[in-house]
């Protein structure tokens, strides 16, 4: 089975340039190819016509690296639930469809070129505290601390995040709550993550808010997430953040320092 | 390379620096004898790490923790996206948590045997020793490994192993391990001990007085070409499977970093050892851009078969058992569907070549879960493989719970890579190579779930210990200034190359060339090879390479993000590597592991090694464009594992 | 873009569009300074609001038990706690809490809106298709603004009187009937209550998320609660203008 599609693709030469939609026809493409392969096909055509190909990010093409991701007809990663752009196949489109393709839009994700954005802000959130401090060599035997299977499974649900940015792209507020909460929950659910639990959530929330909008519980992120990560983790983040105000010893110590200085 | 028909110029001068003594004590003794760098001196050393996969990420984080000044580079937009993220199945470790007779020695033995006796015993033994520490380390970082109801870690058995020693995190083990390393790395970035350069590609290694002293990189966003100097350079840039165009590797995986180092003098070892993975989704059409792996664990419960009649057009569910050929079970009764990768792959190829292939393009074999589903129930299968089944359905458009999957082998991993000694240092002092980029521990064939183990062993434990020994000798010496002529020359050659790629303005896209290259290699230097085919392939590749430089069309400019330009540079290097690959495959007149020469097989079609002539590592030295590469041999001694014909009957 | 740090240099990975926040020192202000904190505060002030609208609605239902009853109720509100607490003391305390809650609620909403605008200065250029965000959640800020305007009108109408030509102090029943007998006023009340319903429908669910009250045991019930709460309050409130306009109460 083949299809004919009309693509309206956002083209932008550089971070500071104005962009525009350009229209391309993709004729008789197989319904078995993925959306990125469709862009490959369009790009081959463009190159043949001596026009510069569309820049888009991708790497694994297996839905795991989180590199790909564009707005397809107004939805991050397109219409199919729980799917990355690279795993979206054309059989989910109809012959004759017009497909609008646009990059993620958020202040924290500035456009580099065409459909490519800079997602370094996500790395910065992790830098602030998205880890367990466990220098190499210091570990005890892995089976010394049992972890209830249910907790480990839930932690894995949260850890499945691929950092693609669809949650931010989907959020009407440009918030990164789902991304941040997934990491906070993953580590917070495991015994290994407990010592830094409260300082972690404080630091990560603070860093997140330097870049992103605020969560007002629209639930768009959950619907857009290719790994179907639940907003329950956002509730958990909020709860941990509230508790951290009373439990983050690092901050409490600082509070007493401040008091004694004054 | 001109002299394909004559034997390569050969020397046997390679010193692997394997320490003396009983194998179980080598690593301890070696660590004790290796010089150290005192904590207060570490910040006086600069180390460059290329790559943020399991190997590079873990190395950079660990070196940062130790106090070295580290610069780490990757071409993706974040270290977390390195190709390692895609590994599904698991990671081996000799923990013996299942009490099923596993031990360090058994993991060592299995790996040497699985590698078809073409690996260095001492390295493999060390790998097996360290494997247990990796699991401890990763668990401490919060990697959510699968657990049993009692809260302890779970294991499964994996491709070719008769013990359950594989640790896993659902079908996303690589992702979780990489995120663990990434998080540790980002902590160091925040602390300032590691400087991170994402979207930067290393395009040249800088060598001064025979030592690696730095790299030249291109900023993929601005096109700026800059030099970075260090006391040591660590390459962790992954494997070169994408030389075949279609492979299970991430699209960006490439050989450029290794190849550039090779051209500067680092030996490239065993390039012909490429691994084909038996369970991938078959090609569906001409626009296919990559192949998708279905975890090997599927073979634990799925049965592989083809119809006995070549022209059977019935839907698989309508084909009765008597018309099915469960060919693995028939030929290998002991291991059946669980034979090692190379054996399973070649068997599938043989079926398809003989016309028994299934699917519209007759290019696959069935992997059938019907029996497992009726025996264990759909729920169990869903729990074990749910995400894989979903992935298959998304890609193939068929429901594997009802119709058998179609699978076919695909290029997956490369055992070959830059030659390193026991310290993971290449023949160029100061250049260390870790992870899939080196040739190290897997011999001619890698066992399932051992690449993750090796990458992390190298990065967390081996390199941090051995690099100190090299650095200690340089205490007090500042790194070479980037104003040195060696850096300027390297920068110039990078710019010149970029300009010539942009200047060709030919008629075919980069992808076109890459596809051609892949086709030639897959057909003539893929799962099965023979002398005539290899010579032909080498000629075709040579022609294609010439044509590339006259006819490639790379549009745009250097000063912006230009993905065609990135690809062009990588394909140019693949074209050079491909010739060496053919040459290596041609010179190795035996079949072993992933390298199968049709001329060298047993009467029933099994690989036939020639230990008399070929029990060595073939390390190739670049001698200039157009000149034949020189072969350096590192003989392999097997003191502990006895050379034997592999048999999985 | 590159993410880069200088070795030993504190790790500033530069990202355009970052808004590092100067942290004030007072803990509560500090907490309120974060968006997560503001949302928690909005949830708590929202709960105050929920309590108020519910009690307000229940009190108003006394209109159905007769004029005397409603007027007595109004009088009672002034006298809660008396004589220990001076007359109208409690009422003012409650009013103060309510006013402060509303002001904080509005301030937080306003400042989060600013933050969210900054977070996406350039919107999507193609049409955007929402799949989970419902009408209520996406219009919170507008229903909020309209409700605020309505409250002002409502106060002028029934508390202070200028918007009500036949206002008599201390006779709420009379004032209510007089005001709502005007068709356009009844219409405003009806529309405003529908908006209130939308606001409550999202708010009464959202507050659980914001405060992290989340558990698989009752997650589904949070939604039921929000629906039921919004429906009860709106139905109770709407019944009054309808009853008055239709002449069932006069
Ligand atoms: C689909 C799939 C499944 C697999 N499953 C398993 C499994 O279950 N178990 C197992 O043990 N193994 C598995 N493997 C193999 C394993 O994943 C890899 O061998 C391993 O992850 C390689 O890690 P690495 O760190 O060496 O390199 P990579 O992860 O490939 O990282 C390479 C890094 O180098 C960088 N880089 C490369 N070139 C340059 C350059 N020129 N300049 C700058 N940076 C550069 C990249 O940006 C990247 O960060 C699987 C492989 C595939 C393809
Ligand atoms: S390309 Fe890796 S997730 Fe799509």
List, for residues C125-156, the tens digit of each pLDDT value: 999 999 998 999 999 999 999 999 999 999 99
What lies within 8 Å, CB to CB, of B325 at 6+ separation is: B305, B306, B307, B308, B351, B356
How big is chain C, counted in residues? Answer: 250
Q: CA triplet B511, A88, A10: central angle to 5 degrees?
A: 70
- C-alpha–C-alpha distance, residues B147 and C210, integer Å: 32
Residues of chain C in contact with residue B43, where contact means CB-CB under 8 angstroms, are 8
Cross-chain Cβ contact B193/C13 below 8 Å: no
Q: Whose CA is nearest to atom 35 of ligand 1?
A: B51
CA distances from C216 to A185, A225, B466, C37 (A): 15, 20, 51, 24
ipTM above 0.90, yes or no: yes
Size of interface B-C (CB pairs under 8 A): 42
- CA neighbor of A71 nearest in space, from A135, A9, A17: A9
**What pLDDT score does C83 carry?**
83
- CA neighbor of B614 nearest in space, from B597, B598, B629: B597
Note whether B167 and B91 are within 8 A (CB): yes
Q: Which of B31, B77, B197, B277 to mutate to test the interface with A (most CBs of A within 10 A)?
A: B77
Q: CA triplet C1, C6, C12: central angle to 5 degrees?
A: 60
- A-facing residues of B in 146-175 (CB < 8 A) are 146-153, 169-170, 172, 175
Cross-chain Cβ contact A148/B395 below 8 Å: no
Residues of chain C in contact with residue B76, where contact means CB-CB under 8 angstroms, are none
- C-alpha–C-alpha distance, residues B447 and B623, integer Å: 33
Question: Regarding the domain delimited by B277-412, which CATH topology (the fold level of the hierarchy) does it fall under?
Answer: Flavocytochrome C3; Chain A, domain 1 (3.90.700)
Q: Among A15, A102, A123, select the one facing C125 at the smallest CB separation.
A: A102
Note whether A76 and A88 are within 8 A (CB): no
- C-facing residues of A in 200-259 (CB < 8 A) are 205-206, 209-220, 222-224, 231-232, 234-242, 245, 255, 258
Q: Does any ligand 1 atom lie closer than 6 A to the CB of residue B413?
A: yes
Q: Does any ligand 1 atom lie closer than 6 A to the CB of residue B53?
A: yes
Tell me the nearest-neighbour CA distance from A174 into chain B, angstroms: 20
Strands B69-73 and B431-433: unpaired
**Position of tokens 């041609």?**
B586
Q: Which of C19, C34, C36 to mutate to test the interface with A (most CBs of A within 10 A)?
A: C36
Cross-chain Cβ contact C131/A75 below 8 Å: yes
Strands B365-368 and B405-414: antiparallel
Please classify residue B499 by burial: count the beta carbons closer than 10 Å to its beta carbon, then call 0-12 exposed, 13-18 middle and 19+ buried: exposed
Residue C17 has pLDDT above 60, yes or no: no
Tell me the nearest-neighbour CA distance from A84 into chain C, angstroms: 16
Q: Which residue has the higher pLDDT, A257 or B260?
A: B260
Q: Does any ligand 1 atom lie closer than 6 A to the CB of residue B42?
A: no
Ligand nearest to the CA of B569: 1
- C-alpha–C-alpha distance, residues A57 and A39, integer Å: 11
Chains contacting chain C through 3 or more C-beta pairs under 8 A: A, B
- C-alpha–C-alpha distance, residues B132 and B154, integer Å: 14
Q: Does C6 touch chain B (CB under 8 A)?
A: yes
Cross-chain Cβ contact A147/B147 below 8 Å: yes
Residues of chain C in contact with residue B196, where contact means CB-CB under 8 angstroms, are 3-5, 13
Residue C2 has pLDDT above 70, yes or no: no
**Position of tokens 């043989």?**
B350
In the 8-state DSSP scheme, what is residue B86? G
CA distances from B106 to A78, B73, B130, B641 (A): 48, 37, 14, 10
CA distances from C39 to B146, C45, C88, C135, C208 (A): 35, 10, 32, 20, 11
- C-alpha–C-alpha distance, residues B518 and B361, integer Å: 19
Sign of CA dihedral A233, A230, C115, A108: positive
**What pLDDT score does B394 carry?**
87
Question: Which of B236, B262, B447 to probe ligand 1 with, by most ligand atoms within 8 A of CB?
Answer: B236
**What pLDDT score does A262 carry?**
42
Tell me the nearest-neighbour CA distance from B626 into chain A, angstroms: 31
> Catalytic residues of B, which ones?
341
- C-alpha–C-alpha distance, residues A12 and A9, integer Å: 10
Q: Whose CA is nearest to atom 47 of ligand 1?
A: B74
* Residues C70-76: contacts with CB under 8 Å, at least 24 apart: C70/C172, C70/C173, C70/C176, C71/C170, C71/C171, C71/C172, C71/C173, C74/C170, C74/C172, C75/C170
**What pLDDT score does C23 carry?**
57
Q: Among A102, A107, A235, select the one facing C214 at the smallest CB separation.
A: A235
Determine the 3-state secondary structure of A158 from DSSP.
helix
Question: Regarding the domain delimited by A2-113, which CATH topology (the fold level of the hierarchy) does it fall under?
Answer: Ubiquitin-like (UB roll) (3.10.20)
Which parts of chain B register pLDDT below 50?
Answer: 1-2
Note whether B210 and A150 are within 8 A (CB): no
Note whether A237 and C36 are within 8 A (CB): yes
Here the tokens at position B226 are 């800059």
Q: What is the mean pLDDT of residues C89-93?
A: 91
Q: Which atom of ligand 2 is nearest to the CA of A63?
A: 3
What lies within 8 Å, CB to CB, of B410 at 6+ separation is: B246, B247, B248, B276, B277, B280, B291, B293
Note whether B56 and B434 are within 8 A (CB): yes
**Position of tokens 């949302």?**
C39
Backbone angles phi, psi at C193, to 5 degrees: -70, -30
Note whether B154 and B95 are within 8 A (CB): no
- C-alpha–C-alpha distance, residues B181 and B423, integer Å: 22
Q: Whose CA is nearest to atom 3 of ligand 1?
A: B87
Determine the 3-state secondary structure of B388 from DSSP.
helix
Domain extents for chain B? 277-412, 485-623
Residues of chain A in contact with residue B145, where contact means CB-CB under 8 angstroms, are 142, 152
- C-alpha–C-alpha distance, residues C111 and B273, integer Å: 61
Q: Which atom of ligand 1 is nearest to the CA of B257?
A: 41
Tell me the nearest-neighbour CA distance from B121 into chain A, angstroms: 24
Q: Does any ligand 1 atom lie closer than 6 A to the CB of residue B436?
A: yes
Q: Whose CA is nearest to atom 37 of ligand 1?
A: B237
Ligand nearest to the CA of B442: 1
Question: Regarding the domain delimited by B485-623, which CATH topology (the fold level of the hierarchy) does it fall under?
Answer: Methane Monooxygenase Hydroxylase; Chain G, domain 1 (1.20.58)
**What pLDDT score does B302 carry?**
94
**What pLDDT score does B286 carry?**
86
Domain extents for chain A? 2-113, 119-259
Q: Does any ligand 1 atom lie closer than 6 A to the CB of residue B138?
A: no
- C-alpha–C-alpha distance, residues A78 and C158, integer Å: 51
Residue A258 has pLDDT above 60, yes or no: no
Specify the pTM.
Answer: 0.95
Number of structural domains (chain C) is 1
Cross-chain Cβ contact A217/C137 below 8 Å: yes
Q: Which atom of ligand 2 is nearest to the CA of A164?
A: 3
Class of CATH domain A119-259: mainly alpha
Backbone angles phi, psi at C111, to 5 degrees: -75, -35
Position C31 in a domain: no
Q: Which of A177-191, A242-256, B149-163, B282-296 is most confident?
A: A177-191
Rama region for B51: left / alpha / beta (φ>0; ψ in -120 to 50; rest): left
**What pLDDT score does B1 carry?**
44
Which range marks the domain in which residue C100 is found? 38-117+134-246
Tell me the nearest-neighbour CA distance from A254 into chain C, angstroms: 10
CA distances from C114 to A78, A213, B433, C127 (A): 29, 9, 50, 23
Residue A261 has pLDDT above 70, yes or no: no
- C-facing residues of A in 169-198 (CB < 8 A) are 172-175
Please classify residue B252 by burial: count the beta carbons closer than 10 Å to its beta carbon, then call 0-12 exposed, 13-18 middle and 19+ buried: buried
Sign of CA dihedral C101, C102, C107, C109: positive
- C-alpha–C-alpha distance, residues B143 and B449, integer Å: 16
Backbone angles phi, psi at B278, to 5 degrees: -75, -25
Q: Whose CA is nearest to atom 3 of ligand 2?
A: A63
Ligand nearest to the CA of A69: 2
- C-alpha–C-alpha distance, residues A64 and B323, integer Å: 39
Cross-chain Cβ contact C36/A214 below 8 Å: yes
Categorize the per-residue pLDDT at C21 as very low, low, confident or very high, splitting at 50, 70 and 90: low
Please classify residue A234 by burial: count the beta carbons closer than 10 Å to its beta carbon, then call 0-12 exposed, 13-18 middle and 19+ buried: buried
Rama region for B442: left / alpha / beta (φ>0; ψ in -120 to 50; rest): alpha
- C-alpha–C-alpha distance, residues A133 and B183, integer Å: 9
pLDDT, tens digit, for every residue of A141-166? 999 999 999 999 999 999 999 999 99
Chains contacting chain B through 3 or more C-beta pairs under 8 A: A, C
């Amino acid at each position: 089975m083949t299809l004919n599609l009309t693509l309206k693709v956002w083209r932008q030469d550089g971070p500071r340039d104005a962009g525009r939609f350009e229209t391309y026809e993709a004729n008789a493409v197989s319904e078995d190819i993925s959306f990125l392969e469709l862009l490959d096909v369009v790009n081959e055509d463009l190159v043949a016509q001596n026009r510069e190909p569309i820049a888009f990010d991708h790497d694994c093409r297996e839905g795991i690296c989180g590199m790909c991701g564009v707005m397809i007809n107004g939805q991050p990663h397109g219409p199919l639930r729980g799917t990355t752009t690279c795993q979206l196949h054309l059989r989910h489109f109809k012959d004759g469809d017009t497909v609008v393709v646009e990059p993620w839009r958020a202040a924290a994700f500035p456009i580099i070129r065409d459909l490519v954005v800079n997602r370094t802000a996500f790395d910065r959130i992790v830098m602030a505290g998205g880890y367990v401090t466990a220098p190499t060599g210091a570990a005890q035997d892995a089976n010394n601390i049992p972890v209830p299977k249910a907790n480990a499974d839930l932690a894995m649900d949260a850890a499945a995040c691929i950092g693609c940015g669809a949650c931010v792209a989907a959020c009407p507020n440009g918030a990164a709550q789902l991304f941040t909460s997934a990491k906070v929950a993953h580590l917070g659910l495991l015994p290994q993550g407990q010592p830094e639990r409260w300082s972690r959530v404080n630091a990560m929330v603070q860093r997140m808010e330097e870049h992103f909008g605020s969560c007002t519980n629209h639930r768009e992120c959950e619907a857009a997430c290719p790994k179907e990560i639940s907003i329950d983790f956002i509730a958990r983040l909020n709860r941990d953040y509230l508790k951290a105000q009373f439990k983050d010893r690092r901050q409490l110590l600082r509070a007493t320092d401040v008091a004694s200085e004054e | 390379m001109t002299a394909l028909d004559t034997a390569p110029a050969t020397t046997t001068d390679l010193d692997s620096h394997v320490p003396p003594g009983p194998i179980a004590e080598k690593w301890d003794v070696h660590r004790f004898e290796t010089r150290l760098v005192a904590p207060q001196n570490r910040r006086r050393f600069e180390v460059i790490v290329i790559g943020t996969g399991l190997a590079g990420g873990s190395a950079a984080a660990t070196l940062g923790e130790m106090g070295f000044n580290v610069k780490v580079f990757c071409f993706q937009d974040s270290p977390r996206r390195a190709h390692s993220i895609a590994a599904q199945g698991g990671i081996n470790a000799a923990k013996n948590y299942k009490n099923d007779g596993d031990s360090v020695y058994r993991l060592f033995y299995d790996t040497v045997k699985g590698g078809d006796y073409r690996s260095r015993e001492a390295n493999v033994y060390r790998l097996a020793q360290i494997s247990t520490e990796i699991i401890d380390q990763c668990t401490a970082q919060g990697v959510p490994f699968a657990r049993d109801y009692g809260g302890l870690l779970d294991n499964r058995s994996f491709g070719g192993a008769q013990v359950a020693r594989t640790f896993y995190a659902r079908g996303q083990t690589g992702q979780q391990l990489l995120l663990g390393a990434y998080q540790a790395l980002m902590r160091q970035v925040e602390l300032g001990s590691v400087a991170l350069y994402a979207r930067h590609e290393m395009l040249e290694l800088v060598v001064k007085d025979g030592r690696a002293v730095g790299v030249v990189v291109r900023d993929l966003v601005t096109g700026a070409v800059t030099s970075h100097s260090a006391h040591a350079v660590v390459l962790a840039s992954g494997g070169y499977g994408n030389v075949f165009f279609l492979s299970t590797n991430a699209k960006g995986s490439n050989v450029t970093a290794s190849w550039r180092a090779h051209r500067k003098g680092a030996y490239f070892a065993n390039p012909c050892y490429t691994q084909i993975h038996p369970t991938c989704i078959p090609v569906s059409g001409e626009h296919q851009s990559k192949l998708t792996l279905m975890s090997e664990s599927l073979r634990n419960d799925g049965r592989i078969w083809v119809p006995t009649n070549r022209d059977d057009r019935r839907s698989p569910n309508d084909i009765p058992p008597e018309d099915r050929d469960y060919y693995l079970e028939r030929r290998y009764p002991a291991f059946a569907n669980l034979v090692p990768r190379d054996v399973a792959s070649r068997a599938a190829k043989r079926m398809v070549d003989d016309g028994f292939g299934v699917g519209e393009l007759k290019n696959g074999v069935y992997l059938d879960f019907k029996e497992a589903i009726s025996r264990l129930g759909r729920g169990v299968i869903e729990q074990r493989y749910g995400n894989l089944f979903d992935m298959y359905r998304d890609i193939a458009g068929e429901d594997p719970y009802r119709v058998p999957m179609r699978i076919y082998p695909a290029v997956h991993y490369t055992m070959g890579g830059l030659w390193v000694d026991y310290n993971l240092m290449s023949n160029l002092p100061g250049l260390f190579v870790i992870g899939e980029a080196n040739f190290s521990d897997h011999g001619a064939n890698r066992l399932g779930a051992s690449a993750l183990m090796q990458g992390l062993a190298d990065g967390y434990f081996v390199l941090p210990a051995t690099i100190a020994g090299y650095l200690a000798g340089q205490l007090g010496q500042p790194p070479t200034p980037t104003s040195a002529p060696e850096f300027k020359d390297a920068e110039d050659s990078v710019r010149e190359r970029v300009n010539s790629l942009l200047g060709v303005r030919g008629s075919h896209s980069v992808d076109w060339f890459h596809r051609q290259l892949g086709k030639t290699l897959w057909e003539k230097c893929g799962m099965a090879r023979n002398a005539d085919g290899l010579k032909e392939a080498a000629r075709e590749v040579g022609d294609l390479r010439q044509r590339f430089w006259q006819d490639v069309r790379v549009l745009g400019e250097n000063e912006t993000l230009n993905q065609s330009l990135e690809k062009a540079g990588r394909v140019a290097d693949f074209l050079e590597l491909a010739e060496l690959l053919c040459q290596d495959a041609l010179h190795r007149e035996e079949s072993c592991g992933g390298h199968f020469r049709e001329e060298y097989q047993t009467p029933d079609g099994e690989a036939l090694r020639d230990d008399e002539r070929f029990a060595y590592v073939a390390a190739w030295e670049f001698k200039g464009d157009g000149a034949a590469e020189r072969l350096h041999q590192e003989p392999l001694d097997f003191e502990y594992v006895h050379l034997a014909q592999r048999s999985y009957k | 873009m590159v993410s880069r740090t200088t070795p030993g240099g504190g790790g500033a990975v530069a990202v355009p569009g970052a808004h590092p926040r100067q942290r004030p020192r007072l803990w509560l202000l500090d907490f309120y300074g974060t968006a997560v904190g503001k949302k928690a505060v909005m949830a708590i002030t929202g709960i105050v609001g929920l309590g108020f609208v519910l009690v307000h609605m229940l009190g108003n239902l006394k209109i159905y038990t007769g004029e005397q009853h409603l007027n007595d109720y109004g009088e009672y509100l002034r006298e809660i706690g008396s004589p220990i607490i001076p007359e109208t003391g409690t009422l003012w305390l409650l009013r103060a809490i309510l006013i402060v809650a509303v002001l904080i609620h509005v301030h937080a909403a306003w400042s989060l809106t600013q933050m969210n605008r900054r977070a996406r200065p350039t919107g999507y250029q193609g049409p955007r298709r929402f799949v989970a965000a419902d009408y209520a959640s996406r219009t919170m800020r507008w229903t909020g603004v309209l409700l605020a305007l309505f409250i002002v009108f409502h106060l002028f109408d029934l508390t202070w009187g200028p918007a009500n030509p036949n206002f008599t102090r201390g006779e709420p029943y009379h004032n209510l009937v007089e005001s709502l007998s005007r068709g356009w006023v009844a219409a405003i009340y009806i529309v405003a209550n529908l908006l209130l319903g939308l606001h409550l429908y999202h708010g009464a669910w959202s507050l659980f998320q914001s405060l992290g009250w989340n558990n698989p045991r009752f997650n589904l019930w949070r939604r039921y609660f929000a629906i039921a709460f919004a429906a009860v309050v709106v139905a109770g409130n709407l019944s009054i203008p309808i009853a008055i306009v239709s002449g069932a109460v006069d």
